[in-house]
Structure 1
Amino acid sequence: MGCCRRALRHALAGLLLALLSPGSSAADFGHLPDNITVLEGESVVLRCKIDEEVTHKAWLNRSNILFTGRDKWSLDKRVSLINSNTSHFSIQIDQVQVADEGPYTCTFQANNKPRIAHVYLIVQVPARIVNISRDVSVNEGDNVNLFCLAVGRPEPTVTWKDQKYGLVSEGEFLDITEIRRQQGEDFECITNNGVAPPDTRKVKVTVNYAPSITDVKNMPAQLGKMAVLRCEAMAVPTAAFEWYRDERRPVEGDSTLRIKNEKTRSLLLFNNVTEKHFGNYTCLAYNRLGASNASMLLFRPGAVYGRGTGHHVGVFSAGVAVMISFSVSLLSM
């Protein structure tokens, strides 16, 4: 019996392949759509409507026979026969894979005439990012090269968007030449192919630069009162601060003064101003990339600071100090 069954299968397979060969005279019928689209991982049903008296019927994928009647030929457990009667002959494919994409054929013989219906299964895969640059830290003036690789069916688009200015760049690669400190931010990669919501990921770009003193405050002070000198600096990494009296002597040794450092500024606090406190003070802001300094005055109310005192802004880089001095005069009332 086994030999007869195998012989019957081979004979049927030969008949089916002959019917589907280019020279076949079999007529198509329109009970299947031309294309069926399904997402990867989902299930799909291929329905074949039969409206005539049938003697033989089969489902094929390309030249591979899946079913002949109720007899399953496919070894794939994901493929099952869900309907086989006088009016319908349908199969289901579970957990659809990209490899399942392609042509499928329902064929049957009715009234001694072969009937064939074709359908093409299209498998779509949502766009997703599979590899992206790590967060980077660079020095101002360096070149930055970011990448974002994505997959999907149909082929997805890849777009870079900066979060600060909303500028958009198309393509997997984002190149920034001689990056400036203002460009330090999150850059978002967006990939989309219209199958599912876009997939997005971000890369943080940190731009390091030497301190730049942005604000200083000269302070009129009254004897016996409190006073504050303020020094603000922008830098990445965050600047550290030091204070000097007359640009030479650190103030840390003076118990009558207190330094309060915050994230981007330093305060020199005078709890009880005396005569010895009046004069010139220098704030130094520094990090591993360089330094900047500025001088300011603690003076008596009503005094006009001008020629005779120095207001200095210095930048130190690679051991070289450049000092720009603005000379003004001090006229005592």
Structure 2
Amino acid sequence: MGVGGCLVVPWRCLVVLCLRLVFLVPAGVPVRSGDATFPKAMDNVTVRQGESATLRCSVDNRVTRVAWLNRSSILYAGNDKWCLDPRVVLLTNTKTEYSIQIQDVDVYDEGPYTCSVQTDNHPKTSRVHLIVQAVGFVSEDEYLEITGITREQSGEYECSASNDVAAPIIRRVKVTVNYPPYISDAKSTGVPVGQKGILQCEASAVPAAEFQWYKEDKRLVEGQKGVKVESKAFFSRLTFFNVSEQDYGNYTCMASNKLGNTNVSIILYEISEPTSSTLFQEETTTALTPWKGPGAVHDGNNGTSRRAGCIGLLPLLLLHLFLKF
């Protein structure tokens, strides 16, 4: 059964559901200047595989709408649950905090999660990165040897020593696995002339990656007129405040640490401004693609996972909302 009670999700049902979504979920645009501390989500959450992960977002009484998203999939909008994953539950929805919990986490749950709020018709977002540690080694010897260690095997290891005289003594050792960067997400973006444009790439690395942006052979730096470069531990964002014809083209995001580097090409291309009459004038067929994680919809007939039909229209709708602000 699909979202909203539709047994088979026709395009008209998708339109109704996504129109409902427009009034529940704000556009996923970056936090505006001056509001960097609101909303405030945790920087990152690290849990072991099989444990529960709590994602918290601090809000205040200015908020009119709230939502949690996993990439482009909606988990909760207010008190309404939009994903069918039973492991995802709403913990708190008050005037000061909006939090959810993902139970029995698995490695495919790892990645970015977004807290999105709306205040006085201004959407704002804050991101938290979930890290899942998969550790499954057991040894009855004095030493634990891990050959060919991988990044998934980093985390805390527990040593227990006991005999028949006293209670066991337990000590914990944290193992950090260093690895070169790999870029997990980077998408080309279409923006109309005169609008705000954003290019973003996400990379995982230990030690944390350092990011650099290039257009052709020219490096882009913070403070360049009309362009803002913002880099965090897991992602880097290139923002154009007023896109011109000269801004369109191919950009390169490079992530590096002392163990190596990697890069990806991203294109900023021109599109025409959409109108409300063209958004829904044609029937929309949603492609069913394999997907795992809390935002997935489980197909009980064939055992595969797919996104909810309505989610396929989300990027277009968010773009429409984004252009209004």
TM-score tier by shorter-chain length is: 0.3 to 0.5
Instruction: Identify the structure with bigger relative contact order (alpha carbons < 8 Å, sequence gap 6+).
Output: 2
Larger helix share, 1 or 2: 2
Larger strand share, 1 or 2: 1
